[in-house]
């Protein structure tokens, strides 16, 4: 059989997750020429674009989640693939009995699931307990692990110590991202914080708390995404906060043109993480926009003049340090923006990451990499 690897995602409503869908489309384009295919399972949408296929699957709600792997086996010819890489959500459904046993299975992890679930109140706490109970059983039925950071991989291998694993951090298709074309003039510092959803680990509250006690100069914070509050403008101390709600890609492009600095996650420690490699950070660098964030990023070591790592704690964000960083960045323009764009093109590209993923999956499937 010709080697084929399937990258599989279960996203019932793709329209609710534009950032994830854009990432998958970028990965699919980067995988051209590789024996790596991308499929998204949906509750009704179908179609194909740039190598990314949407396949509808009957069954939703709790019943669908509990029968997820049986539904997948009924919707796709899994026996035609040497390996399947499936994005892990929870271990609630760990029944792989309907999957072909000759096809190697890989679990892809983007977080420490139990910690993130526990941040969701009483219901989340109950789900986290179920995840801690069921997750190890799920992992006993896969052949390898994929994770976006070394920290996440180490956690998953602690749950299933014998599994081989690989770190495939988030990348970016810089050629699909426009370079920011303008910076607003005047004495105000413009920050853009965009997120698909402002969960607590985004740390928006830390930023707003810092702005409320900032003595000046004036700052304008632009917010785009679910959960940032009502659309409109408010005032916090010497800052204006402008909330746009959810924007389409064209709207995001226009908003990023206003940014002196982009803001990445500020509280991933709330979901038990020290490391992260957010898509929004890579998007900003591809646009040539300097960046602030509050976590370790394996691809963004300290010391580069184009990004600033803030403390990962519960204190209000120190706005004067961001203002000083913005002034240093301004003194290095326009060369700094060009350097950041080049960094994204040369160091964060998806193509080598997809090649490494494919090689790892096939090596494990063919026995060249074995259980530890």
37 and 155 both lie in a single domain: yes
Question: Is 156 domain-assigned?
Answer: yes
What pLDDT, on a 0 to 100 scale, did the predictor assign at position 351? 97
Question: Is 261 domain-assigned?
Answer: yes
Question: Could you read off the pLDDT of 150-173 as tens digits, one per residue?
Answer: 999 999 999 988 899 999 999 999
122 and 248 both lie in a single domain: no
Question: Is 372 domain-assigned?
Answer: no
234 and 146 both lie in a single domain: no
Is the pTM higher than 0.85? The answer reads yes
- Mean pLDDT on 277-292: 97
**Per-residue DSSP letters for 323-339?**
HHHHHHHHHTTTHHHHH
User: What total number of domains does the chain contain?
Assistant: 2
- 3-class secondary structure, 190: strand
Of the candidate ranges 133-137, 167-171, 309-313, the one whose mean pLDDT is the lowest: 133-137
146 and 205 both lie in a single domain: no
pLDDT bin (cut points 50, 70, 90) of residue 203 is very high
205 and 323 both lie in a single domain: yes
Its domain, for residue 167, covers 5-171+349-365
The CATH number given to whatever domain includes residue 248 is 3.40.50.2000
CA distance 262 to 259: 6
79 and 205 both lie in a single domain: no
- 3-class secondary structure, 39: strand
336 and 355 both lie in a single domain: no
Between the two ends of the chain, the Cα-to-Cα distance in Å is 27
158 and 269 both lie in a single domain: no
337 and 357 both lie in a single domain: no
**257, 185 Cβ separation under 8 angstroms:** no
């Amino acid at each position: 059989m010709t080697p084929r690897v399937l990258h599989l995602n279960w996203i019932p409503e793709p329209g609710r997750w534009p950032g994830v869908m854009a990432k998958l489309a970028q990965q699919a384009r980067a995988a051209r020429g590789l024996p790596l295919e991308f499929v998204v399972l949906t509750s009704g949408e179908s179609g194909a674009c740039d190598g990314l296929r949407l396949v509808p699957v009957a069954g939703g709600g709790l019943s669908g989640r509990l029968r997820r792997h049986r539904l997948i086996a009924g919707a796709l010819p899994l026996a035609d693939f040497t390996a399947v890489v499936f994005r892990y959500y929870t271990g609630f459904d760990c029944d792989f009995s309907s999957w072909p046993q000759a096809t190697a299975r890989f679990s892809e992890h983007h977080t420490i699931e139990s910690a993130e679930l526990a941040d969701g109140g009483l219901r989340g706490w109950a789900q986290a307990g179920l995840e801690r109970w069921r997750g190890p059983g799920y992992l006993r039925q896969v052949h390898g692990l994929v994770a976006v950071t070394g920290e996440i991989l180490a956690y998953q291998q602690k749950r299933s110590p014998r599994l081989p694993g690989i770190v495939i951090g988030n990348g970016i298709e810089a050629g699909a991202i426009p370079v920011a074309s303008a910076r607003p003039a005047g004495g105000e510092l413009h920050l853009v914080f965009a997120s698909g959803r402002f969960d607590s680990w985004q740390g928006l509250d830390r930023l707003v708390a810092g702005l409320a006690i900032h003595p000046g100069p004036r700052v304008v914070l632009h917010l785009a995404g679910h959960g940032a509050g009502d659309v409109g403008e408010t005032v916090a101390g010497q800052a204006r906060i402008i909330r746009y709600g959810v924007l389409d890609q064209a709207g995001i492009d226009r908003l990023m043109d206003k940014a002196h600095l982009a803001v990445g996650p500020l509280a991933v420690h709330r979901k038990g993480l020290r490391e992260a490699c957010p898509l929004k950070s890579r998007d900003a660098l591809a646009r040539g926009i300097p960046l602030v964030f509050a976590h370790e990023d394996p691809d963004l070591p300290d010391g580069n003049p184009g990004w600033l790592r803030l403390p990962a704690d519960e204190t209000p964000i120190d706005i004067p340090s961001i203002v000083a960083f913005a002034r240093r960045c301004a003194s290095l323009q326009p060369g700094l923006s060009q350097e950041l764009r080049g960094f994204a093109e040369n160091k964060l590209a998806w193509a080598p990451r997809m090649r490494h993923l494919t090689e790892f999956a096939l090596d494990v499937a063919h026995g060249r990499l074995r259980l530890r």
